[in-house]
Structure 1
Amino acid sequence: MDPVSVGVLAALAGGAGGELGRQAWATLSELVRRPFGRQAGAPVSGEAELVALSEAPGEPARAEALSGALAARAAVDPEFAAALDSWRGRIPALAEGSVTNTVSGGTQYGPVIQGRDFSGITFNSPTSPPARES
């Protein structure tokens, strides 16, 4: 099982995704707190890591700790692994790297870039429509 994306965990803990993100975080919290087939010597539930990330969502180390705890628990608890996979399947729009691009409103005069997380971009082209010939 792949670990839950650190970026997704941090984004959800930080409130990304609006209502959908809030619901996804609440559902994950319920899942982590639910007592599954815990065995003697089983890894931690992930609850402490969940709380720590919710208190400081901007700290990547906390998201990494939660991701690791979820992966460790899923490795020894098949019921938890199935529930975690189901949870991950319900949040595709919040998945790291997810992008929705829309260009509308008629003809665009100038560059249009579609993608995600751009920085340091400079355009050196005119932004006004070309002159009409008579």
Structure 2
Amino acid sequence: MTSIPTARPVIDYVAKVRAAWGDSAPDWVLVLAEACAKSSQSAVARKVDYSAPTISAVLGNTYLGNLQRVEAAVRWALIGETVSCPMLGPLSKKECLEWQAKPYAATSSHRVAMFRACRDGCPHSRIATEETAS
């Protein structure tokens, strides 16, 4: 007799959050759970640029890392919040991260100004301060 592989059990991510967080679940954690329910935990993890185990730990209220960074990633990627760039005004997360990722290029004064702004105390920067160019 051969066994037939069964599908993975369906996880109720919102119920997981309610069980782990109780009534104190932040709005962004509920959005994260709803996104996982609509898609998959792995797909949502890729979208917010974190690992699936990290997303699971956040949903289960056991994450020991920087929860504020995960919150920012969820708010930018899933909720569509923008940041107020000191140089350009309102930007999406994608645009903000694209500017942060651009290498130094002296070919444009605007590029130089943005490179420095992203590395000189911008509250939205994910760049370590030791990476700054002189």
Higher relative contact order (CA 8 A, sep 6+): 1
Greater share of strand: 2
Higher helix share: 2
Larger Rg: 1
